């Protein structure tokens, strides 16, 4: 029985491994017994600060691009629009991810079919990075210098700028985190004490 007789699932991680070996690139596969869909799941086996996401996007001209950012950061659509001088960018659909990158959503490796690549400099803080391993059950560790030398990416700040209290704006509303600022318990106590002192002062005058 062959793939013409039954529906076969391509071995994407094997394709990735063959590519890396053809380039004599050091790599280490990290296998999971379940699909790795979140950073929390990946953190059970690897250091989160070393994980880099490979995000497939599409610009307003219909052209694909790859954004490589730290796992704990959010890609900034606004910054990418400025860097590429395009009207808009959006996340690719699962169908577009496979079409453009050659890998399924959830398993995208930075080493794929997309030639226009943006790399956030934060990824380069580590000697190695843990990236998509071709399918959702695997990650792979590679050297960050190999990412740069192989992909020849534009190294740009493309992660979201956090909103700082006391400033008017720092990013589009869509790029802002939902919890821009929350008081810690000790801050709440200090604020309540200050308000109480102000009320007493006002009552005495």
Q: How far is CA 31 from the centre of its chain?
A: 20
Q: How far apart are CA 104 and CA 40, in angstroms?
A: 20
The predicted structure's pLDDT at residue 52: 96
Residue numbers of the domain that contains 185 = 173-204
Does residue 202 register a pLDDT over 80?
no
Per-residue pLDDT tens for 131-187? 999 999 999 999 999 999 999 999 999 998 444 334 333 333 333 222 222 223 333
Report yes or no on 1 lying in a domain.
no
The predicted structure's pLDDT at residue 33: 86
Q: Which of 118, 116, 113, 96 is nearest to 105 (CA)?
A: 96
Asked if 84 and 179 sit in the same domain, the reply is no
Q: For the chain, what is the domain count?
A: 2
Report yes or no on 35 lying in a domain.
yes
Report yes or no on 115 lying in a domain.
yes
Asked if 64 and 147 sit in the same domain, the reply is yes
Report yes or no on 191 lying in a domain.
yes
Report yes or no on 28 lying in a domain.
yes
Residue 159, beta-bridge partner list = 75
Asked if 114 and 178 sit in the same domain, the reply is no
Q: What's phi and psi for 5, nearest 5 deg? A: -95, -30
Report yes or no on 5 lying in a domain.
no
Asked if 79 and 111 sit in the same domain, the reply is yes
Asked if 110 and 18 sit in the same domain, the reply is yes
Report yes or no on 81 lying in a domain.
yes
The predicted structure's pLDDT at residue 59: 98
pTM comes to 0.75
- Please give the angle made by the CA atoms of 151, 79 and 98, to the nearest 5 degrees: 45
């Amino acid at each position: 029985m062959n793939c013409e007789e039954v529906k076969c699932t391509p071995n994407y991680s094997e394709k990735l491994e063959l590519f890396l070996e053809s380039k004599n690139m050091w790599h280490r596969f990290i296998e999971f017994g379940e699909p790795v869909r979140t950073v929390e799941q990946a953190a059970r086996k690897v250091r989160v600060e070393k994980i880099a996401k490979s995000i497939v996007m599409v610009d307003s001209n219909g052209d694909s691009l790859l954004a490589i950012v730290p796992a704990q950061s959010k890609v900034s659509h606004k910054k990418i629009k400025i860097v590429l001088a395009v009207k808009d960018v959006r996340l690719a659909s699962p169908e577009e991810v496979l079409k453009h990158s050659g890998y399924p959503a959830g398993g995208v490796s930075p080493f794929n079919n997309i030639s226009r690549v943006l790399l956030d400099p934060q990824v380069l803080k580590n000697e190695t990075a843990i990236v998509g391993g071709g399918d959702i059950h695997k990650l792979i560790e590679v050297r960050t210098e190999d990412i740069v030398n192989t992909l020849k990416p534009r190294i740009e700040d493309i992660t979201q700028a956090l909103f700082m209290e006391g400033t008017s704006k720092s990013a589009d509303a869509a790029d802002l985190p939902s919890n821009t600022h929350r008081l810690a318990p000790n801050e709440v106590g200090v604020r309540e004490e200050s308000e109480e002192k102000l009320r007493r002062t006002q009552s005495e005058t």
